[in-house]
Amino acid sequence: MNRFEDVLKMEKRRRIIEELEEAGGSLTLKELSQRLGLMTPVVAAWLTWMEGADVVEYDVENDEITDQSNFNTEIRLADSP
């Protein structure tokens, strides 16, 4: 099983993918958190793992997506799993 399949097994992470697809492929971290009804730092931590698995991508000004200054960062589905 590859890392993309691992992501899909986890319901909350699968919902992230579903929300991004529904939104046309991208949302800000803050928008995504609101849609999921979850705290932004929690979603940011999951996104870090998902970015490492090449499921999502984002560009941050600071080192970590979890930094509060990055909450308006655009989260995009990666081109290919």
Query: What's the pLDDT tens digit per position in 17-73?
Result: 999 999 999 999 999 999 999 999 989 989 998 998 899 999 887 668 888 888 899
Structure tokens at 41: 């730092």
Sequence letter at residue 46: W
Instruction: Give the burial class of 15: count Cβ atoms within 10 A of its Cβ; 0-12 exposed, 13-18 middle, 19 or more buried.
Output: middle
| CA–CA separation, 67 and 81 (whole Å) | 26
Domain 3-77 coded CATH 1.10.10.10:
yes
Please enumerate in sequence order all residues whose Cβ is within 8 A of that of 80, keeping only pairs 6 or more positions apart, or say none.
Answer: 54
At 37, list the tokens: 């009804």
Query: What's the predicted TM-score (pTM) here?
Result: 0.80
Write phi, then psi, for 63 (nearest 5 degrees). -65, -35
